[in-house]
Amino acid sequence: MSETVARPAQDVRADATGPGELRPVTVGPTGKGSATGESSGTGGARPGRWSRARADGAARTGLDPRAEAVGIELRDLRRSYGDVTALDGLSVTINPGELVALLGPSGCGKTTALRALAGFERPDSGQILVGGDDISAVPANRRDMGMVFQAYSLFPNLSALDNVAFGLRLRRVNPRARRQRATELLELVGLGHAGRRYPHELSGGQQQRVALARALAIEPRVLLLDEPLSALDAQVRASLRDEIRSLQTRLGITTLFVTHDQEEALSLADRVGVMRAGRLEQLAAPEVVYAWPATPFVAQFVGTVNRLPGRTVAGDLVEVLGQRLPAVQLGDAPASGTAAVDVEVLVRPEAVVVTARATGTAAGAVDPTPQDPTAATRPVPITTTGALGQVRQRTFRGAVTRLRVDLLGLTARGTAVGLDGEPASATIVADIATAQATGLHPGSDVLVTLADRPVLVSDPAAAH
Amino acid sequence: MSVADAPAASAGAGEADLPGSGPRGVAEWLRGTGRNGFALLGLVPFFAYTVVFLGLPTASVAINAFRTAHGTWTLHNISLSFEGIYRDAFVTSLKVALCTSAIGVVFGGLFAQAVLSTRRNTVLRRVVTTASGVFANFGGVPLAFAFIATLGTTGMVTRMLHALGFDLSSTGFSLFTFSGIVVVYTYFQVPLMVLVITPALEGLRPQWREAAEGLGASAASYWRLVGLPVLAPALLGSFLLLFGSSFAAYATAWALTSGTVPLVPIKIGTLLSGNVITGGENLGKALGFEMIVVIAVAMVGYVLLTRRVSRWLR
Amino acid sequence: MATLTGPAAPPLPPTPTATRALAGAGRAVRAGWWRWTIFAIAAVYFLVPLIAALEFSLRGRDGHRTIGAYGKILSEPEFGSALWSSVKLGLMAVAITLALLVPTMTLVHLRFPKLRRVIETITVLPLVIPPVVLAVGVLGAFRTAPQWLIGTPTILGFEYVILALPFAYRALDAGIGAVDLRTLVEASRGLGAGPVTALFRVVLPNLRTAVLSAAVLTLALVLGEFAMASLLLWDTFPSWVVHIGASEADVSVAVSLVALVLTWLLLMVLVTLGGRRGGRAFVGVLTGGTRDE
């Protein structure tokens, strides 16, 4: 997939210090609610006005796409609890109608960011703009945001229907209208039949559906999803994930989704923001985050990546496993063009080519035509050498088979494999099409080469 | 990965939760000789003990309430217990119990919630928890003396108020009357409430509060629509427990008023120890029997009410 | 998409404690002045009587401050025998309570889950029957009982077991609910243990905290029980405190304060040592059933 999105990494790297670079575009048909940064300077908090406006809107029935979608901008948010810094100058911009996922390891501040947007946390400093208005001072119960929590957030004393109707009840919608609307929403999430059941009579997945319906019932300006799938089992998780996405697209509601599950983030979001230590490392389309990570941290956190020792050579090339490949620098990698520098080369498992090698072949004798037919049709690489290895482990994963290969040494004129001069027998992980993995078993002697594509390089020290 | 582990873990938990559905091995083993009867023998001591030391005395009270001192059946004790000072004692006892339980539930509930809204694992929480345990069992003469030293005629607070030109007795308050009993009983009712309600308050998930807020609820509407309905069974149960504890309390009132305020337990004690009137002992049993009936009726009422307010639990 | 997960960066599950701590912090900001008002009222109401009692116990006959009352406690002739009598009764009640409840509850939990309701109901009954009434019943029922039972304070020990039943049951029930007794016993059986071995080597050690709470609650109840002891005319520590109060009120108050502080310190130590769980066991004793998923 990386070929389709191959772009210079610099263009997509999130730049936290320059918010102007990622200014949102107003796409709302009414033209209202421009989310550009400039409008925020004049727009104060006007909670009373817009919350009342939404209250009227909530009385509407029908589930048309939203008349207006608002943009969100978090500006330089900071929040610390004693010694712990949860947000360290976080800036995120979400375009109207967009679904942005914040992804990061636990403790990276993603949940704090969402809770700050919802109004449950007060940032120490920074601004939160919704539709151009700074809502930092607006209390949570007047922010008009629909939120779905991790689990157990349904009111246990109310039936599914009453749960969904809760927000409408607070908005004094008359009982018949709110009942009707709640029923519609339950049908929308596929639970039209379960309106009379109480939360403990619903499965985990059903509970989260009701929670979603409840959040949508108030026609919120913003939908906030706080790891809503993490307590569910795998199958329910996948189906609910797809449903959330299709509902969100249909309603066109601006959505912030927080998760520690990269698979969820990449498959669900328009753009993924990878967070670390209270800051945004990269905010970009899932494909871009995967193929062109902005920092070594992103590269490692999103997907599996092999880190191989390499050496830059003239002409923006890097020498790795005895091959010379075009290099794209990332993060704090040394400047290109200088003399040979040790670097770390980041390679995804699917870019590793493993081919069988007749046992007993002396090191150095390399078959120049790999058995991989697709590889064979490619233009001849800069170098035809590769690394010798032995398959240690083989894991069947459906369409692909993952191989763990111990690198034994280099063929021909390569240098020793290893970091810091250690001739370690490092391990490399390769995903190859299962059809081509038939002859490869633990113990098989193989030749490891890299697909002839540009590779990412970084400073070895920065990667750790 | 967590995904792979989750089903296995939940399956294990589910199995443990279902009584009797466990692996056969345990049942076989406990069966010992393989017969149910043998294991049932293990329950004999418990049942025998409660029958002898709880059942017999209770039966004695219940039966003798309807008998004369000579052993003939009569309703005289019962009818006597509904007259004059004994009826007054019942009325006062019920008033004291209802009043102090209400104060205990309201103030104890608020206090417990206030403590829980502080940060976790603080010294404050530990002090409140342990002090509640101590104060809930603090009663009798020590408690009475402490309050006499505080609000008695030469009590510390009485003297301080006097020095400020305020005469406490002019308000009609006296430690040795109904109002005094209420003030003193509150001293163990509130901590008892804190002990009883804290787990239920901890069971209120922060997500409910936040979900309600996110949907536009103020603090008041959260409590009205979610918090209090969810707590209702626990609040009812607490009220019942406080009612029972206050209704049955003997030592404190005895030490404080020496019987000037008519309370049923005091009357029973007097009838038992003194020879006020002939046949007084069985009159005491009639009063005791009626106390049991009052609490039992309260319990039945509690069960019915709970069923109503906790429909969502079933 | 499974290929996306790999060894380089295993996604970490979120830590629920951290999330909850954050939620708590948010709440703390919101909880406002009303909390402090409540604390202030509570502090005044609960501390002033103690301070007044302390002041009273330090007030000498001639108006001077003196700690004489505290010094006199130990020299009171019946102090030692009364306390010892109560401690004996307490230990007896603790022993009977545990011997009665632990095997019964284990058996019911593992073998007769349907009987759980019955046992639970029986243990609630003592709350329905006031101690005063129970004392009346004891006098009536055991009028003709053998001398060893009714002629000594032993009968108090037996009845204190009944009074402690609701609390001890809930403490133990919370403990049994917290450990997977079935699996533990099954595992010990798999390793070749017999029923008695399993009870002493597996069940009891795993219910340590619960057994401790049950014991402490029972003991505290016995050391403070006055109504039954007084009506059955046996001298125990609480009745001695009352007795001495008639002649030497300052000593009586001094003893009570010392007992109060010692009990509180003991609980503080237990809760601190037992951490949150221990604390919960004590707090949860009365309600027991509230368990989080």
Evaluate whether A91 touches A77 at the Cβ level (below 8 Å). yes
Nearest residue, CB atoms, C11 vs list A115, A262, A431:
A262
Bridge partner list, A80: A85
Domain count, chain A: 2
The alpha carbon of residue B247 is apart from the nearest alpha carbon of chain C, in Å, by 8
A286 and A387 assigned to the same domain: no
CB A405 within 8 A of CB A430: yes
- Is the CB of B268 less than 8 angstroms away from the CB of C132? yes
> How far lies B118's CA from each of A121, C17, C21, in Å?
16, 16, 11
Residue range B75-313 forms a domain whose CATH class is: mainly alpha
Spatial distance between the Cα atoms of B314 and C11, rounded to a whole number of angstroms = 38
Residues A288 and A349 in one domain: no
**Alpha carbon A430 to chain centroid distance?**
22
CB A128 within 8 Å of CB A113: no
For the stretch B28-74, pLDDT in tens is 444 444 456 677 888 899 999 999 999 999 999 999 889 887 878 88
* Cβ atoms of residues A64 and A103 within 8 Å: no
Residue A260: inside a domain: yes
Name the amino acid, one letter, at C180. Answer: D
Using alpha carbons, select from C162, C136, C233 the residue that is nearest to residue B287. C136
pLDDT at site A336: 52
Per-residue pLDDT band at B277 (split at 50, 70, 90): low
Q: In the structure encoding, which two tokens stand for residue A45, read together?
A: 């908090």
Q: Is A329 helix (H, G, I), strand (E, B) or coil?
A: strand
> Domain extents for chain B?
29-64, 75-313
Strand partners, A355: A447
Name chain C contacts of B192, Cβ cutoff 8 Å. 286
Spatial contact of B286 and B81, defined as CB atoms under 8 Å apart? yes
- Report how far residue C65's alpha carbon sits from residue C56's, in angstroms, rounded to the nearest whole number: 9
Nearest to C240 by CA among C82, C118, C124: C82
Cβ-nearest to B285 among C51, C140, C272: C140
pLDDT, chain B, mean? 82
What tens-digit pLDDT sequence spans chain A (464 residues)?
Answer: 333 443 433 333 333 333 333 333 333 333 333 333 333 333 333 333 333 334 444 434 445 555 578 999 999 999 988 888 899 999 999 999 999 999 998 889 999 999 999 999 899 999 999 998 899 889 998 898 999 998 889 999 999 999 999 999 999 999 999 999 999 999 999 999 999 999 999 999 999 999 999 999 999 999 999 999 988 888 888 889 999 999 999 989 999 999 998 889 999 999 999 999 999 999 999 999 988 888 888 888 888 888 888 888 866 788 888 788 888 877 555 555 556 778 888 888 888 999 887 544 333 334 444 444 444 334 334 345 678 888 989 999 888 999 998 887 654 334 444 433 444 447 888 999 998 888 888 988 888 888 888 888 877 654 44
C164 vs A21 pLDDT, higher one? C164
For the record, the structure tokens of C169 come out as: 């049951």
Same domain, A272 and A335: no
Does residue C230 contact residue C82 with C-beta atoms inside 8 Å?
no
- Is residue B129 predicted with pLDDT exceeding 60? yes
Amino acid residing at A99: L
First-to-last C-alpha distance (Å) of chain B = 35
pLDDT at C293: 22
Is residue A89 assigned to a domain? yes
Question: A53 in contact with B at a CB cutoff of 8 Å?
Answer: no
Tokens of C87: 């401690």
Average the pLDDT over each of B86-90, B241-245, B304-308 and give the range with the smallest value. B304-308
Whether C82 and C88 have beta carbons less than 8 Å apart is answered as no
Q: Which residues pair with A395 in a beta bridge?
A: A402
Q: Are A272 and A396 contained in the same domain?
A: no
Q: What's the gap in Å between the CA of A197 and the closest CA on chain C?
A: 20
CATH number of the domain to which A236 belongs: 3.40.50.300
Q: What is the DSSP string of A17-67?
A: T-GGGG------TT--S---GGGGGT----HHHHHHHHHHHHT--S-PPPS
Q: What is the DSSP string of B276-312?
A: SSTTHHHHHHHHHHHHHHHHHHHHHHHHHHHHHHTGG
pLDDT by residue (tens digit) across C132-163? 999 999 988 888 878 777 778 889 999 999 99
Higher-confidence residue: A220 or C275?
Answer: A220
B-C interface: how many C-beta pairs under 8 angstroms?
Answer: 298
* Shortest CA distance from B270: residue in chain C: C231
Residue B209 confidence (pLDDT): 93
Cβ density class B270-300: b for 16+ within 10 Å, e for less = ebbeeeeeebbbbbbbbbbbbbbebbeebbe
Q: How far is B239 from chain A (nearest CA, A)?
A: 20
Q: Cβ A149–B6 below 8 Å, yes or no?
A: no
State which amino acid sits at residue A269: A
**Contact in structure between A322 and A283 (CB atoms under 8 Å):** no
Dist CA C201 CA C184 (whole Å)? 11
What the block records as the tokens of B248 is 């049955």
Q: Average model confidence (pLDDT) for chain C?
A: 78
- Please identify, among A282, A297, A312, the residue that sits at the C-terminal boundary of a domain: A297
Quote the pLDDT of residue A259.
Answer: 92
The predicted pLDDT at position C152 comes to 83
Reading the block at residue C85, the tokens are 């009598």
The C-alpha atoms of residue A256 and residue A146 are separated, in whole angstroms, by 10
pLDDT tens digits, B85-127: 889 999 999 999 999 999 999 999 999 999 988 877 678 888 8
Measured between beta carbons, the chain C residues lying within 8 angstroms of B110 are: 38
B233 touching C, CB under 8 A? no
- Asked whether B107 and B190 are in contact (CB, 8 A), the reply is yes
- Fold adopted by C71-283: MetI-like fold (1.10.3720)
Mean pLDDT confidence for B204-230: 93
Taking CA atoms, what residue in C is nearest to A261?
A: C11
Give chains near B: 3+ CB pairs under 8 A: A, C
B122 at interface of A, judged by CB pairs closer than 8 A: no
The separation between CA C289 and the C-alpha centre of its own chain, rounded to angstroms, equals: 16
How many other CB atoms sit within 10 Å of the CB of residue C167? Answer: 23
∠ at Cα A203 (A201, A204), nearest 5°?
130
Phi-psi region of A428 (alpha: psi -120 to 50; beta: other; left: phi over 0): beta
CATH code at A402?
2.40.50.100
Give the pTM: 0.77
A91 CB burial (10 A radius; 0-12, 13-18, 19+): buried
How many C-beta neighbours within 10 Å does residue C77 have?
7
- Quick one: tokens of C140? 């009536």
Contact yes or no for A121/A99 (Cβ under 8 A): no
Residues A292 and A326 in one domain: no
Instruction: Name which of A95-104, A174-183, B271-280, C235-244 the model is least confident about.
Output: B271-280
Q: Is B142 helix (H, G, I), strand (E, B) or coil?
A: helix
- List the beta strands (DSSP E) in A95-140: 99-103, 125-130, 133-134
Give every strand in the sheet of A352-356, ordered side by side. Answer: A352-356, A445-450, A387-397, A400-410, A427-433
User: DSSP letters along A362-384, please?
Assistant: PTT---SS-S-HHHHHSPPPS--
- The four Cα atoms C12, C17, C21, C23 give a dihedral, to 10 degrees, of 80
CB of A396 less than 8 A from some CB of B: no
Residue A169: inside a domain: no
Asked if residues A223 and A253 have their Cβ atoms less than 8 Å apart, the reply is yes
Q: What is the H or E stretch that residue A149 is in?
A: none
> Look-up: residue for tokens 């108090």?
C156
Please report the ipTM that was assigned to this predicted complex: 0.79
pLDDT for residue B175: 86
Q: What CA–CA distance (Å, rounded) separates A384 from A293?
A: 28
A78/A116 same-domain check: yes
- Would you say residue C124 has pLDDT above 70? yes
Q: Look at C15 and A106 and tell me if their CB atoms are within 8 Å.
A: yes
Q: Which residues of C touch B195 (CB under 8 A)?
A: 283, 285-286
- What are chain A's partners, defined as 3 or more CB pairs within 8 angstroms? B, C
Q: Do A318 and A327 touch, CB atoms closer than 8 A?
A: yes
Count, in order, helices (H) and strands (E) of chain A: 11, 20
Taking an 8 Å cut-off on Cβ atoms, the answer to whether B54 and C45 are in contact is: no
Question: For residue C36, what is the enclosing H or E element?
Answer: helix C33-57
Q: Please give the distance of CA A60 from its chain centroid, rounded to a whole number.
A: 35
A133 and A252 in a single domain? The answer is yes
What gap in Å lies between CA B209 and CA B215, rounded to an integer? 10
In which domain, by residue range, is A438 found? 304-458
- What is the rounded radius of gyration, in angstroms, for the C-alpha atoms of chain C? 25
Phi, psi of C252 (to 5 degrees): -60, -45
* A127 and A258 both lie in a single domain: yes
Residue B24 pLDDT greater than 50, yes or no: no
The Cα C208–Cα C291 span in angstroms is: 19
Q: State the pLDDT confidence band at B181, using cuts at 50, 70 and 90.
A: very high
pLDDT of residue C198: 80
Domain extents for chain C?
71-283
pLDDT tens for C45-103 read 999 999 999 988 888 767 677 887 888 888 888 888 899 999 999 999 999 999 999 99
CA distance C84 to C96: 18
**B45 at interface of C, judged by CB pairs closer than 8 A:** yes
pLDDT for the residue B217: 92
What is the pLDDT averaged over residues B200-222? 91
